[in-house]
DNA sequence: CTGAAAGCGCTTACAG
DNA sequence: CTGAAAGCGCTTACAG
């Protein structure tokens, strides 16, 4: 068990001062007029003995941890898992680590996580939060903490945001269903109080309004076992036998929806057409393949990390907010194509 | 913007010493014979002003960060995403945060991550690693770092492990296929050098050997685009038209396999029976539903975090290693049932 | 219980 | 460039 080597040991061995070693390691050799020869000697020896500065001490002194706090709704949700994987890779490439947590849409848990991240002195925040935490996030903004909200924003909180245009997404999807000739189009949605869901409802409502068609919206309460969600949907479809198309507002509703329709023995798209927000393996490989409103995952992740790094590495200036809205893409598959033979 | 409050401010305001405040906050009031009245006064005021000790300073002093480093193969893989979600929840409940990273099965990246975690002074490690990092992990073990390997272990590294019995998993699955009367059973697998994959191959080989059936194993190189994997499988199935059953050794191989069989127009299970390791929504809802070897996710997560906390909170004693092997469960669905009418 | 102090391992302004 | 020192914000042994 080798003893932990300290900056002091480096300095002593090389016969230079601690300050010299520290300055060289922090790239301030030139600035502080340390000769290149000496700087190289230091770097060479540091590399040789594998000296790594104690990050805790460094962080305590500088106030920087190079850790980013990532809050998602649920890391087991494919949308968030994919985004997390992409963000992690991009952050790591820029020298930042990710401390992550899931809120499971619980406001209390979200507040705890924000407090915890603060205690850990994360350098920046990437957040997909439930409502009810506006005051705390505003406080972070006020204190100029680097921060990006994604997926959904918070009413009244003015900060950096990266979202996907939910209105356009469901508008286009609903138009598509109408164009196919479906007449009774249901929207199954959850957490309407969240901005991304409100947007998805709006796009749906707008398209129907333009065609003078009535809305048929079923909201499903969120924190529930999948089985409960499936049962709720079974009840809904049984109560609405004339419904000939359905739009699921998010991936896990789509999955539960397919399960519910399967149990009821409804044939897709002959008896009911299906479209879901978010793409994944299941929708692509299902029989029939499911039409989806796909979010641009790569661009989303790139925009999020870009916006945050912009804040993290700004030279302390007052810069404009970054507010990005990306456009989702309708991927038409068989589940929403009206059969030719009626 | 409120000024950060320090332990010194608390002490001054209450007219007590810093030591008193610190001892009370660390639950050493009784031990240090501080009166309950005073202790309560301190706690009350601390709560009132919302004082939170600076964790960096605390960590620098105590050497404890209450952060656990979690290394997975890929957080976007449903198996790892699910495990991560469960571990995170259980760790948080015990006061630990999770710093996570994906290796994508890249040995160099894995080494970087281990170094990074060490720099961050994580208290403990939960690791699913690629091969080639045995020396570094052994070094951690030698230095008594709390550590648990899961999913796969490392040859020659003696430490805490939590794995699922891969031999039993594929043995039972293969037996099932044989019992159904399938004769040419292929195994599609990857990374045979990893212990969990080697075990899965073993179980398959053993079952076939007992029935004097030949093996038909196709290994797929891992770090590949999904599309490349699908194409490789298409080639395999075309090259082996007599193959009437296939066992996929892990979830993403199963997903790609369904895609490949779909493109080739092979009917399941009429033309080919399918079983995959790992369960997920896709396998459950696919037409036909796919038979799987399901890992006990909850128990797995519970065992992992339990083993680690056991190390983290032991009173510095020499305790026995924890080596847990859980049994997977064969969930028989339609994809592997031989059609009655031939 | 208090008070003063050392120490965790760094960074950095300062005088020379 | 060096050397001595302060300071980041804690914890804890020590003398009283």
CATH code of the domain containing A19 = 1.10.260
Residue B257 located in a structural domain: yes
- Same domain for A194 and A47: no
pLDDT one-digit tens code per residue, B106-118: 999 999 999 989 9
Residue B204 located in a structural domain: yes
- Same domain for B71 and B46: no
First-to-last alpha carbon distance for chain B, in angstroms, is 77
User: What domain range is B90 assigned to?
Assistant: 65-164+298-326
C-alpha neighbours within 13 Å on the C-beta side of residue B128: 27
Q: What is the arithmetic mean of pLDDT over A244-264?
A: 97
Lowest mean pLDDT, pick from A52-56, A248-252, B255-259? A52-56
- The order of strands in the sheet holding B217-220 is B217-220, B185-190, B245-248, B273-277, B291-294, B329-331
pLDDT one-digit tens code per residue, B312-325: 887 555 568 999 99
Q: How far apart are CA A262 and CA A265, in angstroms?
A: 5
Q: What is the pLDDT of residue A249?
A: 98
- Same domain for A82 and A22: no
pLDDT at A83 over 50: yes
Q: Which residues of B touch A255 (CB under 8 A)?
A: 281, 285
Residue A342 located in a structural domain: no
Rounded percentage of chain A residues whose pLDDT exceeds 90? 74
- Same domain for B124 and B31: no
Q: Cβ(B276)–Cβ(B283) under 8 Å?
A: yes
For chain A, how big is the Rg over CA atoms in Å?
26
Contact B100 A88 (CB under 8 A): yes
pLDDT one-digit tens code per residue, A134-185: 999 999 999 889 999 999 999 999 999 999 999 999 999 999 999 999 999 9
pLDDT one-digit tens code per residue, A289-319: 999 999 999 999 999 999 999 888 875 555 6
> pLDDT by residue for chain B (342 residues), tens digit each?
356 789 988 888 888 888 889 999 988 888 887 888 888 889 999 999 988 889 899 999 998 999 999 999 999 999 999 999 999 999 999 989 999 999 999 999 999 999 989 988 999 999 999 999 999 999 999 988 999 999 999 999 999 999 999 999 999 999 999 999 999 999 999 999 999 999 999 999 999 999 999 999 999 997 688 999 999 999 999 999 999 999 999 999 999 999 999 999 999 999 999 999 999 999 999 999 999 999 999 999 999 999 999 888 875 555 689 999 999 999 999 999 998 765
Residue B58 located in a structural domain: no
Pairing of strands B67-72, B124-127: parallel
Residue B341 located in a structural domain: no
Lowest mean pLDDT, pick from A34-38, A263-267, B117-121, B137-141? A34-38
Q: What is the pLDDT of residue B241?
A: 95
Split at pLDDT 50, 70, 90, the class of A4 is confident
Helix residue spans in chain B (DSSP H): 7-14, 18-25, 36-49, 55-62, 78-93, 107-119, 134-142, 166-179, 195-210, 226-239, 251-264, 281-285, 297-312
Three-state secondary-structure class, residue B151: coil
How many CB atoms sit inside 10 A of residue B8's CB?
10
Residues 59-118 of chain B in contact with strand C via CB under 7 angstroms: 60-61
Q: Which CB contacts under 8 angstroms, 24+ apart, belong to B58-62?
A: B59/A56, B59/B121, B60/A54, B60/A56, B60/A57, B60/A60
Residue whose C-alpha is closest to residue A268's, from A251, A303, A243: A243
Residue B248 located in a structural domain: yes
Q: Does A322 touch chain B (CB under 8 A)?
A: no
Residue B136 located in a structural domain: yes
- Same domain for A178 and A290: yes
- Same domain for A196 and A103: no
- Same domain for A240 and A127: no
Q: Which residues of A touch B67 (CB under 8 A)?
A: 99, 120
Q: Does B4 touch chain A (CB under 8 A)?
A: no
Residue of B282, B290, B334 to mutate, interface with A, max A Cβ within 10 Å: B282
Three-state secondary-structure class, residue B277: strand
Q: What is the pLDDT of residue B1?
A: 38
Q: What is the pLDDT of residue B317?
A: 56
- Same domain for A173 and A140: no
- Same domain for B321 and B233: no
Q: Does B44 touch chain A (CB under 8 A)?
A: no
More confident residue, A45 or A167: A167
Residues 133-162 of A with CB under 8 A from B: 142-143
Q: What Cα–Cα distance (Å) separates residue B107 from each residue in A50, A99, B83, B129, B131? A: 19, 22, 21, 8, 7
- Same domain for B189 and B148: no
Q: What is the pLDDT of residue A340?
A: 79
Residue A341 located in a structural domain: no
- Same domain for B111 and B187: no
Q: What Cα–Cα distance (Å) separates residue B329 from each residue in A227, B166, B210, B247? A: 21, 11, 21, 15
Number of domains in chain A: 3
Three-state secondary-structure class, residue B93: helix
Q: Cβ(A292)–Cβ(A279) under 8 Å?
A: yes
* The token pair that represents B85 in the structure block: 């979600």
More confident residue, A50 or B148: B148
pLDDT at A213 over 80: yes
Q: Which residues of A touch B115 (CB under 8 A)?
A: 52
CB B37 within 7 Å, strand C? yes
- Same domain for B225 and B156: no
Q: Cβ(B178)–Cβ(B213) under 8 Å?
A: yes
User: Tell me, what CATH number does B214's domain have?
Assistant: 3.40.50.2300
């Amino acid at each position: 068990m080798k003893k932990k080597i300290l900056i002091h040991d480096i300095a002593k061995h090389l016969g230079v001062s601690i300050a010299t070693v520290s300055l060289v390691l922090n790239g301030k050799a030139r600035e502080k007029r340390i000769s290149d020869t000496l700087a190289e000697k230091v770097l060479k020896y540091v590399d040789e003995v594998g000296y790594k500065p104690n990050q805790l001490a460094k962080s305590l002194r500088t106030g920087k941890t190079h850790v980013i706090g990532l809050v998602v709704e649920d890391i087991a949700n494919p949308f968030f898992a994919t985004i997390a994987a992409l963000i992690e890779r991009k952050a790591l490439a820029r020298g930042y680590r990710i401390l992550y947590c899931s809120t499971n849409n619980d406001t209390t848990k979200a507040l705890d996580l924000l407090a915890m991240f603060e205690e850990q002195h994360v350098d920046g925040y990437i957040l997909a939060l439930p409502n009810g935490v506006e005051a705390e996030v505003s406080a972070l903004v006020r204190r100029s903490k680097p921060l990006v909200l994604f997926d959904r924003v918070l009413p009244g909180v003015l900060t950096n945001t990266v979202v996907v245009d939910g209105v356009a997404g469901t508008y286009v999807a609903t138009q598509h269903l109408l164009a196919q000739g479906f007449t009774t189009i249901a929207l199954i949605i959850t957490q309407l109080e969240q901005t991304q869901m409100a947007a998805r409802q709006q796009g749906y409502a707008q398209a129907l309004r333009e065609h003078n068609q009535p809305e048929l919206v079923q909201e499903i309460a969120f924190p529930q076992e999948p089985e409960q969600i499936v049962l709720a949907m079974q009840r809904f479809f049984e109560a609405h036998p004339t419904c000939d198309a359905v739009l699921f507002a998010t991936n896990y509703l789509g999955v539960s929806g397919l399960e519910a329709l399967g149990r009821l023995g409804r044939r897709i798209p002959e008896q009911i057409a299906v479209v879901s927000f978010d793409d994944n393996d299941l929708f692509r490989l299902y029989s029939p393949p499911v039409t989806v409103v796909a979010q641009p995952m790569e661009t989303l992740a790139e925009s999020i990390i870009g916006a945050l790094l912009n804040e993290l590495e700004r030279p302390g200036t007052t810069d404009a907010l970054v507010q990005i809205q990306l456009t989702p893409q309708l991927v038409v598959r068989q589940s929403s194509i009206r059969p030719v033979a009626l």
